[in-house]
Chains A and B, each alone.
Chain A
Amino acid sequence: MAETVLLDIALLSLLVSGSATALSTAVGVPLGSWLGGREFRGRRVLRALLHALYGLPPVLLGLLLYLMLSRTGPLGALSWLYTPQGMVLAQFLLTLPFVVGLTWNAVGSVDRSVRDTARTLGAEGRQHLWALVREARLGILGAVMVAFGRAISEVGAVILVGGNIQGETEVLTTAIVKETGQGDFAVAVGLGLILLSLSMFVFAALTLVQERER
């Protein structure tokens, strides 16, 4: 496998999983904080449903999205099947429950005294929420890390939605499946090591940020 091809594959992996994580962070952190900062009826049921989605198998999500995005499916007109956009959508949906749920937990477990202090100081609405998010930032960063980890390591959704088209939608995990399928085990292991180091690098960087904030 040529080095430029390898670089393209690794970059696409980062791009797809990074965009998906960024999107689920942008949607999930405000949503999770909002949910975590208040008491409401049906809170437990909603949380249980959200936690149940932690177990959503990527391959099942990939299958459902494939059926939606297929030429004959309801969203076929988007032409997102076998495109990086479709892969980002898949990983966004896959990681969103983690960001919402873990942010909710983090914000929800902020010391009650902090909440009350914020409130007595006159913080209301958006300000109050922001204070909570700042207090819970370590937990929220953890949520983002879990989301990225799930995205970069999954193969079931991106192979069905992306189709593993060389030069267009092939990422590290699907390339490993392909190389194994054609008996090129050495290349497959090499790709695995690249995937591992890439993900370890991102996690080490995020952990450093987390430590600094501590």
Chain B
Amino acid sequence: MRPAPLTAALAALVCAAALVAAGCLGPPAAPAPGRLVLQSTTSVRDSGLLDHILPDFEAAHNAEVAVVAVGSGQALENARRGDGDVLLVHSPEAERAFLEDGSGVSRWQVMYNFYAIVGPDADPAGVRGAPTAADALQRILDNRSVFVSRGDHSGTHAKELSLWSSISQDPSSFPASWYKSVGRGMADTLRTAFELEGYALTDEGTYWSLPDIGPGAAAGGLHLLLGGLAHPADDLRNVYSVVQLNHTRLPGINWRLAEDFALWITSPETAAKIGNYSSAGHPLFFPDPRRA
């Protein structure tokens, strides 16, 4: 053992760590802007919408928006614990419960789109001809076709569960031989469906953002069989809302900036910008702000 090089290496490591720490802890150059922690659903970030609209808000309010993109279930739970200032989510029933238990004080609709059911082009269960999503799920169930579920209490998962319950089915009784609950995000779930040549319920934005497993995929990709903007089905409507938190219960939150945010994201200007947004030529959201 030669101690000199080892000591030098250790010293270098310590110096590097100190530099990193100094960089993180050092005072910011500009006067501290307001900071808003947005607990959002993954689809609005992964689709690129937030990158498209947030800079306007940041400029107008000299604010910095920190986006925590997680499933709606986790977003609501994080907000309940005070780990966030405002919510942008799409799980209407969970949002209502959030308001009812006093964690939130207001909820405004921002926009909507349509979920889609995707699956292999061969479509063994015949989802393409289904009049509604509930009927499509019934066909998948009858055919015992592989269906990959988010299984993560996200807004999309909540939607799937409400569709099953509309045909009096409870997925917790389905065998793993065809019903695969993965407990992961949308992109991971779609990749699993692609690998297993199965069906999945998805938001359109995430689906279009993954061309390597889409219709153009070499090995036979996932096709959009029902829903989306091209074949809207009423029971696939997907509503995004902004939820403000109860600041008497959570005194640490930046509720003033949260209120500015809610007003801004439901304003006609932002609505126009949301309506203009498209990913790979596919418009993804219909702005439809409604303030309660």
B-binding residues in A (CB < 8 A)? 70-72, 81-82, 159, 163-168, 170, 174-175, 177-178, 180-185
Known: A182-B152, A182-B154. A165 touches B73 (CB 8 A): no
B234 to chain A, nearest CB (A): 27
| Contact in complex: B181, A166 (CB < 8 Å) | yes
- Please, which residues of chain B bring their CB within 8 A of the CB of A184? 77, 153
Known: A71-B195, A163-B182. A178 touches B152 (CB 8 A): yes
* CA gap between A168 and B176 in the complex, in Å: 7
| Contact in complex: A82, B192 (CB < 8 Å) | yes
| Contact in complex: A180, B151 (CB < 8 Å) | no
Known: A72-B218, A163-B182, A165-B181. A180 touches B196 (CB 8 A): no
Known: A182-B152, A183-B76. A166 touches B195 (CB 8 A): no
* CA gap between A121 and B78 in the complex, in Å: 69
| Contact in complex: B183, A181 (CB < 8 Å) | yes
Known: A82-B195, A167-B176. A182 touches B182 (CB 8 A): no
A-B contact pairs, 5 of them (CB 8 A): A164-B184, A170-B183, A178-B183, A183-B153, A184-B77
| Contact in complex: B196, A82 (CB < 8 Å) | yes
* CA gap between A165 and B152 in the complex, in Å: 11
Give the contacting residue for B195; candidates A70, A180, A181; CB below 8 A.
A70
The answer, yes or no, to whether B54 is at the interface (CB within 8 Å) is no
Give the contacting residue for B70; candidates A82, A175, A181, A185; CB below 8 A.
A181
| Contact in complex: B219, A71 (CB < 8 Å) | yes
A-binding residues in B (CB < 8 A)? 70-71, 73-74, 76-78, 151-154, 175-176, 180-185, 188, 192, 194-197, 217-219
B103 to chain A, nearest CB (A): 12
Closest partner residue, chain B, to A72 (CB atom): B219
* CA gap between A181 and B155 in the complex, in Å: 12
| Contact in complex: A165, B154 (CB < 8 Å) | no
* CA gap between A185 and B188 in the complex, in Å: 22
* CA gap between A72 and B221 in the complex, in Å: 11
Q: Which of B151, B183, B197 has the most CB of A within 10 A?
A: B183
Secondary structure type dominating chain A contacts: loop
Known: A72-B218, A81-B195, A167-B176. A181 touches B181 (CB 8 A): no
* CA gap between A159 and B189 in the complex, in Å: 12
Closest partner residue, chain A, to B184 (CB atom): A164
B161 to chain A, nearest CB (A): 12
| Contact in complex: B74, A168 (CB < 8 Å) | no
- Please, which residues of chain A bring their CB within 8 A of the CB of B197? 71
- Please, which residues of chain A bring their CB within 8 A of the CB of B181? 165-167
Give the contacting residue for A164; candidates B70, B74, B77, B182; CB below 8 A.
B182
| Contact in complex: A182, B71 (CB < 8 Å) | yes
| Contact in complex: A181, B152 (CB < 8 Å) | yes
B191 to chain A, nearest CB (A): 9
| Contact in complex: A182, B74 (CB < 8 Å) | yes
Closest partner residue, chain A, to B148 (CB atom): A165
A21 to chain B, nearest CB (A): 26
- Please, which residues of chain A bring their CB within 8 A of the CB of B73? 181-183
Closest partner residue, chain A, to B77 (CB atom): A183
| Contact in complex: B74, A71 (CB < 8 Å) | no
Known: A82-B192, A82-B195, A183-B76. A178 touches B180 (CB 8 A): no
A142 to chain B, nearest CB (A): 21
| Contact in complex: A166, B184 (CB < 8 Å) | no
Q: Which of B71, B74, B78 has the most CB of A within 10 A?
A: B74
Known: A71-B194, A183-B76, A183-B78. A166 touches B151 (CB 8 A): yes
A172 to chain B, nearest CB (A): 13
- Please, which residues of chain B bring their CB within 8 A of the CB of A81? 195
* CA gap between A81 and B195 in the complex, in Å: 8
- Please, which residues of chain A bring their CB within 8 A of the CB of B195? 70-71, 81-82, 163
A25 to chain B, nearest CB (A): 30
- Please, which residues of chain A bring their CB within 8 A of the CB of B175? 167
B182 to chain A, nearest CB (A): 5
Given A70-B195, A170-B183, 17 more pairs with CB closer than 8 A: A82-B195, A82-B196, A163-B180, A164-B183, A165-B176, A165-B180, A165-B182, A166-B151, A166-B176, A168-B180, A177-B183, A178-B151, A178-B184, A181-B152, A182-B74, A183-B77, A183-B78
